[in-house]
Amino acid sequence: MVSPKLRWNCPSAGGLIPDNAAMSLGEFDLIETFFWRRPGQGPHRAVVGNGDDCAVIAPAPGMQLAVSTDTLVEGRHFLSTVSPARLGHKALAVNLSDLAACGAAPVAFTLALTLPRVDEAWLRGFARGLLDLADEHDCELIGGDTTAGPLAIGITVMGEVPAGQALLRSGAQVGDDLWVSGHPGEARLALEAFRGSLHPGLSTEAFEATRLAMERPDPRVALGVGLRSLATAAIDVSDGLLGDLGHVLRRSRVGASLNLDELPVSPWLVARSPDERLDCILAGGDDYELLFTASPAQRERIAQLGAELGLVLSRIGRIEAEPGLRLWRGGQTVPNRWTSFDHFKGAA
Ligand code: ADP
Ligand code: MG
């Protein structure tokens, strides 16, 4: 039987592969060439790493494993114009962002790669973007799966957090402050520029800067770890600030007031119309900033953490007992006309 994955010059596929494929890199050669590290190269966190039927990892004593999966599909999560290095970076970054939202420190990840063809230059760039970010966060690639088909990248990431200290969506308390990191909205501005829907369009400088935010997000791992003992709840902003805030409010069974005047405005959004600015910040998506809640007693320590990390942390609202979300601007409530991105309902 010809397995659908045996279309390359796979050494163990004995006779299934046509001779003219012999020049191309086989499946196992490909995996070894691009995704396995030599001893001393890259982090080593696993007891048994890449190359056996399973990887084996042992969490440190007193730690719990936090596990999360995210898949990127061409046309859905990234545009075909993205460079392979940035795509490799982003595929891991969106997964590390989930660990950050739980306050977990990265340990290891697996990579399920579906490729339409073996393009060595593409693989080299992709592996560099992916493994550079992995090394930066001491996160070992311990295994995966490689198959042929439309381009898709699935990553499962594992992190560790002291037992009982994982930050959850369900922990927000009435009276807590509501905070957000960085400048949400930049990725959406770039996406709209790609779609040609901005009038006026962006300057080259603004386009390149916001495109970087969209294609190469920085997961807030150190912030998540620093917030373990400070925050009551956290989530990473992937589907839009208001939509993701909604998840925290529902899971915590609370409501909130959000002050639109306190939202951090990226320098690239300052020049846009007020409506466009709010659309991007509140419902943009693909931000990978952390939205979190904390007692007002922690304000000073949170400000200090932001300063240590060189990260803008903005206090944008307050958790309240009354269910639902109330938006304020200039001391008045304003209607909520924003919804978040839903893959099955279409764009916001
Ligand atoms: P099996 O058929 O036993 O599931 P595979 O042939 O799929 O194993 O993979 C062989 C080895 O290479 C395994 O250790 C697997 O984890 C690893 N591997 C496969 N694809 C990748 C990849 N894209 N990145 C890293 N490791 C991979
Ligand atoms: Mg096996």
Q: Give pLDDT tens digits for 158-169.
A: 999 999 999 999
Query: How many whole angstroms from 68 Cα to the centroid of ligand 2?
Result: 23
As residues whose CB is below 5 A from the ion ligand 2, the structure lists 53
Query: Is the pTM value of this prediction over 0.85?
Result: yes
Give the Å distance between the CA of 123 and the centre of ligand 2. Answer: 23
Instruction: List, for residues 209-250, the tens digit of each pLDDT value.
Output: 999 999 999 999 999 999 999 999 999 999 999 999 999 999
Q: Which atom of ligand 1 is nearest to the CA of 34?
A: 24
**Per-residue pLDDT at 343:** 54
| Residue ranges around ligand 1 (CB below 6 Å) | 31, 35, 50-53, 111, 113, 141, 143-146
Check pLDDT > 60 for residue 89.
yes
On whether the CB atoms of residues 115 and 146 are closer than 8 A, the answer is yes
- Return the pLDDT at 39: 80
β-pair type (152-162, 105-115)? antiparallel
Residue nearest to atom 4 of ligand 1 (CA): 53
> Inter-axis angle of helices 204-215 and 186-195, to 10 degrees?
110
Query: What per-residue confidence (pLDDT) applies to 267?
Result: 97
> Picking from 37-46, 121-130, 289-298, which range would have the lowest pLDDT averaged per residue?
37-46
- Give me the CATH topology for the region 7-12+23-162: 60s Ribosomal Protein L30; Chain: A; (3.30.1330)
Token pair listed for 182 = 């960085």
Ligand nearest to the CA of 50: 1
- CATH number of the structural domain 169-334: 3.90.650.10
Structure tokens at 120: 């060595």
Question: Helix 186-195 and helix 274-283: axis angle, to 10°?
Answer: 110
Q: DSSP code of 177?
A: E
* Residue of the CA atom closest to atom 12 of ligand 1: 51
Among 30, 50, 118, which residue has the most ligand 1 atoms within 8 Å of its CB, making it the best to mutate? 50
What's the CA gap between 88 and 96, in Å, rounded? 13
pLDDT exceeds 50 at position 310: yes
Long-range contacts of 25-34 (CB under 8 A, 24+ apart): 25/118, 25/120, 27/146, 30/118, 30/123, 30/146, 31/144, 31/146, 33/123, 34/123, 34/124, 34/126, 34/127
Q: Is 263 a residue whose pLDDT tops 90? A: yes
Within the chain, all domains assigned CATH 3.30.1330.10 are found at: 7-12+23-162
Distances (CA, A) of 86 to 213, 280, 289: 11, 22, 18
Ligand nearest to the CA of 112: 1
Which residues make up the CATH 3.90.650.10 domain(s) of the chain? 169-334
